[in-house]
């Protein structure tokens, strides 16, 4: 299953560790998962989002709703 497929599955069936682990392969999809499915921050989704500077920024803005050292450091890579 690819990250997009796991995200769509979780939209219909709810969150679980299997789909969350799959979406953690794609920083933007994991951001969407945290925003729309988990509806909040988690360490594993934040870490995956921090693999891309822009995704780290939007994760901090939209999900954490505050700056954090890890998201700030990741966002500053670009």
Q: How high is the pLDDT of residue 69? A: 96
Where do we find the tokens 């990741």? Answer: 74
The pLDDT, as a whole number, for residue 63 is 98
Q: 11-15: long-range contacts at Cβ-Cβ below 8 A with a sequence spacing of 24 or more?
A: 11/36, 11/37
Q: Using CA atoms, how far apart are residues 10 and 48, in angstroms rounded to an integer?
A: 17
How many Å from the N-terminal Cα to the C-terminal Cα in the chain?
30
Sequence-distant (≥ 6) Cβ neighbours of residue 40 within 8 angstroms: 34, 63
pLDDT of residue 45: 98
Phi/psi of residue 39, nearest 5 degrees: 55, 35
One pLDDT digit (tens) per residue for the chain, 78 residues: 999 999 999 999 999 999 999 999 999 999 999 999 999 999 999 999 999 999 999 999 999 999 899 999 999 998
Instruction: Tell me the whole-structure pTM to 2 decimals.
Output: 0.94
């Amino acid at each position: 299953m690819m990250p997009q497929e796991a995200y769509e599955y979780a939209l219909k069936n709810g969150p679980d560790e299997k789909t969350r682990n799959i979406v953690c392969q794609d920083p933007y999809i994991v951001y969407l998962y945290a925003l729309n499915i988990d509806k909040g921050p988690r360490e594993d989704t934040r870490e995956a989002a921090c693999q891309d500077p822009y995704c780290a920024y939007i994760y901090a803005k939209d999900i954490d709703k505050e700056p954090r050292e890890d998201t700030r450091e990741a966002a500053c890579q670009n």
